[in-house]
Chains A and B, each alone.
Chain A
Amino acid sequence: MDYENAEKILEVKHLKQYFNVGKADEVRAVDDISFDIYKGETFGLVGESGSGKTTTGRAIIHLYEPTSGEILFDGKNVDSFTSKKDQHDFRQEMQMIFQDPYASLNPRMKVKDIVAEGIDINHLAKDDADRTKQVEDLLETVGLNKDHSSRYPHEFSGGQRQRIGIARALAVNPKFVIADEPISALDVSIQAQVVNLMKKLQREQGLTYLFIAHDLSMVKYISDRIGVMHYGRMLEIADADEIYAHPLHDYTKSLLSAVPVPDPEFERTREEIAYDGSQENDGKERHLVEIAPRHWVRAAEDEVFMYKQRAQEASLIKE
C-alpha cells in the first residue's frame, strides 16, 4: 500500500456505542475509538470476544445508532443518510460478509434469489435475462458453478455457503466490505480457499475490506494494517508486519504471545506474556498517540516517553 497518496474511505471519530444507557447494566461495548481506513486496503480488527470488534463493524454499517461520535464514509456522515434513497445508496456501497454461513442464508430461498436480492432492491438489472446473467457471473467469480443457482443453501458445504455470502455482498458492486469473522466457521483447508478468493477479488475490483477476526495469523496474512481492541477501546494500530514484529502495547504483546504456532520446536520454548487489564483503568486520560510513523498506541501523557523508548529499541524511530 502506498499510504503517501492514499485516500481515506472511512473515518471513525470518537465512536461510542453503549447499550442499556443509563441503566445499572450499561455496557460500553465501544468506548471512544477513532481510526481511518484507506481506499483499497484491508484493515484488520482483532481482539478477544467482548472486545467490541463486532459492534464496531455493525456501527460502521449503521446497524446501530451510535451513542456518540461520527462515522464518515467517503467524507459524508453515515448518520445523515436519512432518506430512503441515501440509505439504499449507502448499503449499495458498503456490504457485509457474515460469520456464520449457516445462519446468514435464508434456507427457503434459492441461491439465485439470495444473490440477486440486492440487485432487485437497487434495480441494477435491466430485465430477467440480465439478472440471471449477473447472478451467474457472480457465482463464477466466487468459484461456484452457474448450475448452482437454482439450488437451496442446505445443498452446499460451509465453504461453498461462504462463497454464496461473498457473491451476495458483491452483487451490488460495493466499494467497502465488512467481513466479520468470515472464515472462523470453516475448516482449515477451506479457510485458505476463501481468503485467497477475497484477496483476488480485492485485486480485481479494488475493494476495501474491514476484516474482523480473532485468528491472528490469518488476520496478519490478509491485512495491510491492524487495529487491536480490548474492552471496547483501540489500544494499538500499525502496519500488519510491524505490529506482529514489534508490538508496543503490553496487551498486544500478550495477545501475540498466546498464539499457538504449528511448529513443535517453537511451541516447546514459547513464552507467554501475562497482561493485567486493570492498568487501563487507573483513571488516567489516554488517547491514541503516533509513537512511530503510522504506529499508534493508546497512551497517557506520561507513558508516551516509555513507548517512544520501546519504539527506539525496536528501531522503529531514530534517536
Chain B
Amino acid sequence: MDNEKDILEVRNLQVNFKTYAGDVKAIRNVSFDLRKGETLAIVGESGSGKSVTTRTIMGLNASNADITSGSIVYKGQDLLKKSEKEMQAIRGQDIAEIFQDPMTSLDPTMKIGRQIAEPLMVHKGMKKEKALAQALEMMKLVGITDAENRINDYPHQFSGGMRQRIVIAIALINYPEILIADEPTTALDVTIQSQILHLMKELQDKISTSIIFITHDLGVVAGMADRVAVMYAGKIVEYGTVDEVFYNPKHPYTWGLLSSMPTLDSSGDSLPSIPGTPPDLLDPPTGDAFAARNAYALKIDTEQEPPFFKVSDTHYAATWLLHPDAPKVTPPAQIVERQEKYATMQKAWLKTQQSTTPVEEEEEQQ
C-alpha cells in the first residue's frame, strides 16, 4: 500500500480519552491512506470516532486524549511525534480544517477580512496590506458577493451560508495540501449546502487539494467522495471506492446505514432500521462491536474480531461473512437492488474496456 500518490498515511491509530469513569476507547486501531487530489469520505454515527480521527491528525485533541499507538505520516514525517510548536506551523498551512458550525468557528469580534488574512500573516509573515489584498481575492473566489465592501464586516452581519464560505476561505487561503471538512454543510439548508459542495469541488480542481470529508449524510458522500471509509465504534469496518461501498457493500453495518435512509422512492409501512444503540466505548464488546445490533451476526462475531477481508484491490470489509467458511446470506432487499445495479454497471464498463484492450474478467459474486 506504499503508494507514491499517498499524501497521508494513518497506521494503527489508537486514541483513548481518560475520564472519571475509565478510559473511553474512541479510536481502536484505525489505518487509512489519503491520496493526492482525492476526496476520502469518512462516514459513521456520532461517537464512531470520525471527528476524533481528524482532530488527532490536526493535533487538536482535548487534553485528556491519550494516543496509545500508531503513526500519522505526512511527507515522511510522523505528525504524532511533532511538538505543539511544529504542529502550529503545519496547521492552517499544509493541513487546514473547515469546521462544522459556521456560527461558532469564527471570531465574533474580528473583521472577516482580517480573519481570512490571518493565516497569511502568521505562516508567511506577510504584511497586513498584502495579506488583506489576497484575502479579498479569496473572498471573491469563494463567492462572497460585493467583497470589497464586506471585507470590514463582522461575522454576525453574514448569513449561515456566507459564514461557511468565510470559514472555507480561511481554510484555503494558504492552499493547503490536505483539507479536512468536518460536517461542513450539516448546519446548512439543502440549497445552500449544494452551493458550498459545488464550491469545494471547484476549488479542489483548482488547487488540487486532498479532502477528508466527514459526514453522516450518505447523499452528500455519494456526490462528493472518490473513496469511502465507514466507521463504527472506533474502527473502520469497510472501505472502498464510492461505487464499491454504495453498490456492493459487504459489511452488515453498511447495509443498515444504506437501507435506513429513505430515498425519494421509498414507501411502505416501515423503514428498515438498525435496532439498538452503539456500544459503550468505555468497555467495547469482544469480537465484532456491531454484533449486538446485527441480524446477520454469526457465533464467531461475539468471540473474535473479524480481520479485513479483501473484496477487490480497493475494497475491504471487516466482517466474518466474507470468510470462505461463512454461511451464505442474502442482504436486505435494498442492498440486493444496489448490487444488481452495480453488476449491470460493471458489465457496461467491461464492454467499453474490451473494445479497446483485452482485460481479465473479474466478477465479484456474493
Contacts and interface: CB of A to CB of B under 8 A. Distances in A.
Interface string B247-276: 100000000111011111011011111110
A215 to B, nearest CB: 9
Contacts of A157: 277
Q: Tell me whether chain A's interface is mostly helix, strand or loop, or mixed.
A: helix
A43 B29 CA distance: 46
Interface string B185-201: 00001111110010000
A262 B264 contact: no
Interface residues of A, number: 42
Contact of B194 (A189, A260, A264, A268): A260
A123 B267 CA distance: 40
A264 B260 CA distance: 17
Given A192-B271, A193-B273, A199-B270, A263 B246 contact: yes
Interface stretch (B131-139, B217-225, B297-305, B315-323): B217-225
B296 to A, nearest CB: 15
B271 A221 contact: yes
Contacts of A193: 273-275
Interface in B176-233: 189-194, 197, 216-223
B242 interface: yes
Given A221-B266, A261-B264, A216 B190 contact: yes
A144 to B, nearest CB: 12
Interface in A169-210: 187-193, 195-196, 199-200
Interface string B291-333: 0000000000000000000000000000000000000000000
A211 to B, nearest CB: 13
B270 A200 contact: yes
B69 interface: no
Interface in A268-309: 268, 270, 272, 275
Range, interface on chain B: 35 or more
Contacts of A241: 267
Given A189-B256, A196-B270, A260 B219 contact: yes
B243 interface: yes
A195 B271 CA distance: 8
Contacts of A187: 45-46, 216
A264 B243 contact: yes
B189 A262 contact: no
A221 B259 CA distance: 13
B262 A218 contact: yes
A28 interface: no
Contacts of B261: 188, 192, 217, 262
- Sort A-B residue pairs by CB-CB distance and give the 8 closest, nearest first: A260-B219, A192-B273, A267-B223, A192-B260, A262-B218, A189-B274, A221-B262, A48-B189
Given A189-B45, A255-B190, 6 more contacts: A49-B160, A189-B260, A244-B264, A259-B190, A262-B261, A262-B263
23 contacts: A188-B217, A188-B218, A189-B273, A191-B260, A192-B261, A196-B271, A214-B190, A216-B190, A216-B264, A217-B262, A220-B262, A221-B267, A256-B264, A260-B220, A260-B223, A261-B219, A262-B218, A262-B222, A263-B263, A264-B243, A264-B247, A265-B341, A272-B194
